[in-house]
Amino acid sequence: MAYIKKGTKAFRKTTLAMFFGGFNTFAIMYSTQPLLPEFSREFHISPAVASLSLSLTTIALAISMLFVGSLSEVKGRKPLMNFSLISASILAILTSSVPNYHVLLLFRILQGIVLAGLPAVAMAYLSEEIEPADLGVAMGLYVSGISVGGMSGRIIIGMLTDFFNWRVALGTVGVLSVLASLLFWYLLPPSEHFQPRPFDIGKLTKSMVNQLKDPSLLCLYGIAFFVLGSFVTLYNYIGYQLIAPPYSLSQTLVGFIFVIYIVGTFSSTWMGRRADMHGRNKMLKIGLLIMAFGACLTLTTLIVIKILGIALFTFGFFGSHSIASSWVGRQAIRDKAQASSLYLFFYYAGSSSGGTIGGTFWETLGWGGVISMILSFLLCALLLSIRLNFISPFNQHTKTTLTLQKANC
């Protein structure tokens, strides 16, 4: 069977379906992020405890993805992704009617478990079905759906919380997610290159151990941990700063801060293309440095400069994630689903760890403490990307290819 190539109808349907899938997953996953100050006020809990409504979801998702990728080897890629999106959407609606914070956390854990089906399998599906030369663009469009979902969900949550309450806001996101799930099911072509295999726990364990022996993949996993840990930390606690003096913004205005996510829609695709042209490692380093510069700009008290810093930080994040995630699909020679699952395990483990630890920095050191933690994470990611220069065969192949292309021009 031929691979799906850019410019074909199948490519457009695949990338649009993945766009809706990414939109759905991240609108649900991060729906509680702008509500953290509301939870602190209504349930009388600290910012760090309020952050558990996100951190427990992401850690449940991270653990589930270690097994869901292998389950897709048996059940198929598309059926598992369909189940993931529909069930998570229904749970999102149910979460809006919980009686207390403890039950809310239980529902959020369940959401994390079922949400694992899409991110754990999406990268494997794309790497199997898309023409390798076009994988960077396809992955960039999928990540664009993630950015739009994260942005739209937060804006809707902020506005509806101001006009009604957080329960109406969460229920509305759930209904929109059901619609996005149906579009995903309709548009995504069935797998053509997927070969089902029986579930074997021993083989699964061996496969994961083998992936962890690859030093290049280990670096990419570490980068994923530190990059998302930084990103979630900033967005978890910026709301606390903006609703307090001297800004005193409303939930609606804080929600509209997430319009900045639109730059991620552009950067994920644009940097994915630049990485295909100029080398992944070079563009990855640039993305990390942009994140660090943007984070530093948020230390200013001027709201315009602060928002510019958030925009640059977001641009660098989505570009870096797009590059690193597609790199995993190419670096893994076999058992791509397991490689993707491990990447996303570290990715969301970083979200859970950074997001909650950041609350301690916020409570003790304020915004400067949050930024110092973020810069420490980004330094670790940059050191890992430098290490990739010397150990990644794929990176060396890319450099050789680019050299030959320039020589032939």
Given a cut of 90, whether residue 289 has pLDDT beyond it is yes
| pLDDT level of residue 92 (50, 70, 90 thresholds) | very high
Range with the largest mean pLDDT of 244-258, 277-291, 385-399: 277-291
In a domain, 161, yes or no: yes
In a domain, 409, yes or no: no
Quickly count helices (H) and strands (E) in the chain: 17, 0
Given a cut of 70, whether residue 310 has pLDDT beyond it is yes
What pLDDT, in 10s, does the model give residues 203-262? Answer: 667 767 777 778 888 899 999 999 999 999 999 999 899 988 888 888 788 878 878 877
Residue 334, Ramachandran bin (φ over 0: left; ψ between -120 and 50: alpha; else beta): beta
- In this prediction, residue 198 carries a pLDDT of 66
- In this prediction, residue 123 carries a pLDDT of 75
Spatial CA neighbour of 142 closest among 184, 200, 86, 93? 184
Q: How many domains does the chain have?
A: 1
Given a cut of 60, whether residue 395 has pLDDT beyond it is no
In a domain, 3, yes or no: no
What pLDDT, in 10s, does the model give residues 133-173? Answer: 777 778 777 777 777 777 777 788 888 888 889 999 999 99
Given a cut of 60, whether residue 397 has pLDDT beyond it is no
- In this prediction, residue 409 carries a pLDDT of 43
- In this prediction, residue 225 carries a pLDDT of 95
Q: Which domain holds residue 74?
A: 9-189+199-404
DSSP 133-177: GGHHHHHHHHHHHHHHHHHHHHHHHHHHHHHS-HHHHHHHHHHHH
Given a cut of 70, whether residue 93 has pLDDT beyond it is yes
Q: Model pTM? A: 0.77
399 or 38, greater pLDDT:
38
- In this prediction, residue 1 carries a pLDDT of 65
For 103-113, what is the mean pLDDT?
94
For 326-333, what is the mean pLDDT?
73
- In this prediction, residue 334 carries a pLDDT of 66
In a domain, 4, yes or no: no
Percent of the chain with pLDDT over 70: 89
381 or 268, greater pLDDT:
381
CA pair distance 88, 94, nearest whole angstrom: 10
| pLDDT level of residue 335 (50, 70, 90 thresholds) | low
What pLDDT, in 10s, does the model give residues 351-366? Answer: 899 988 999 999 999 9
In a domain, 336, yes or no: yes
In a domain, 97, yes or no: yes
Given a cut of 60, whether residue 131 has pLDDT beyond it is yes
Of 20-29, 152-161, 262-271, which range is least confident?
262-271
| pLDDT level of residue 15 (50, 70, 90 thresholds) | confident
- Calculate the average pLDDT of the chain: 84
6 or 1, greater pLDDT:
6
- In this prediction, residue 375 carries a pLDDT of 97
Query: What 8-state DSSP symbol labels residue 4?
Result: B
For 18-42, what is the mean pLDDT?
88
Which CATH number belongs to the domain containing residue 306 in this structure? 1.20.1250.20
In a domain, 231, yes or no: yes
In a domain, 379, yes or no: yes
Q: Are 181 and 91 in contact (CB under 8 A)?
A: no
Is the sign of the CA dihedral 27, 347, 343, 272 positive or negative?
A: positive
194 or 263, greater pLDDT:
263
CA pair distance 27, 15, nearest whole angstrom: 18
DSSP 260-329: GGHHHHHHHHHHHHHHHHH-HHHHHHHHHHHHHHHHHHTTSS-HHHHHHHHHHHHHHHHHHHHHHHHHHH
Given a cut of 80, whether residue 292 has pLDDT beyond it is yes
Given a cut of 50, whether residue 398 has pLDDT beyond it is no
